[in-house]
Amino acid sequence: MDELEATGLHDEATPVWAVFGDLMAGLLGAFVLILVCALGIQFDLAERLRAETARAQAEAQQRQALEQALAGPLAAGRITLDNGRIGISGSLLFAFNSAELQPEGRQLLHSLAAPLAAYLQARDQVLMVSGFTDDRAVRASKQAPFADNWELSAQRALTVTRTLIAEGVPSSAVFAAAFGAEQPVASNDDAAGRAQNRRVEMAPTPRPRREAAASAAVSP
């Protein structure tokens, strides 16, 4: 009788240990899954950090190379360089409400053309020439036949672009853009601020890939 009772107790206890074993196996599996996910996230973050570091280093090297290429005009204070964007005061290039280059502006562009062309060729990049104005309305005249600030900024950007091409920058490596009174860098409430907003900026940018252009052309 005692032997039968002992056997019965053993049989009743067996499912409890089996359930406990299944539970432990499940917990272990969940722990392993969490660990794998954590390692995957850590690896992904590490890859992103490496890519971001490499990008930052490449941008720093590019800025340094651009500073070296334009060391002369930078030292003379004739241009500014901010985060890879070359800035030229509008008053240095053009008379007020005009898109005709002044002699000093033409001389400056002549000094910039050769180093810019070499820089662009070495990195297979293109130069975006952007025109900006202040927010005062344009007064159309025979000397300044512009409908608005958009047209004035566009014509100034085109003038600089054509001059750079005439000075040796390949036409395939430069293009013009107009921003009018948009994107001011200073307040338009005073003369000093408006003078800062009347400017031309030049920024080297990656050359569009032919594959990307072809893909955009066939997309609906």
Mean pLDDT of successive 10-residue stretches along the chain, which has 220 residues = 50 59 73 80 79 70 81 89 92 91 95 94 95 89 81 96 97 96 95 95 88 48
The pTM (predicted TM-score) of the whole model is 0.70
Answer yes or no: do 34 and 78 share one domain: no
Question: Structure tokens of 30?
Answer: 């969940």
pLDDT at 107: 95
Question: Which whole-number Å values give the CA distances from 6 to 1, 3, 15, in the listed order?
Answer: 9, 5, 15
Question: Structure tokens of 1?
Answer: 């009788």
pLDDT at 217: 47
pLDDT at 212: 47
Answer yes or no: do 117 and 172 share one domain: yes
Q: Are 156 and 94 in contact (CB under 8 A)?
A: yes
pLDDT at 110: 95
Answer yes or no: do 114 and 140 share one domain: yes
Q: Are 158 and 146 in contact (CB under 8 A)?
A: no
Answer yes or no: do 50 and 99 share one domain: no
pLDDT at 7: 52
Q: Are 153 and 133 in contact (CB under 8 A)?
A: yes
* DSSP letter, residue 185: S
Pick from 120, 123, 141, 133: nearest CA to 188: 133
Q: What is the dihedral of CA 97, 95, 160, 179, to 10 degrees?
A: -40
Question: Does residue 213 fall inside a structural domain?
Answer: no
Answer yes or no: do 49 and 79 share one domain: no
Q: Which of 27, 48, 69 is the last residue of a domain?
A: 69
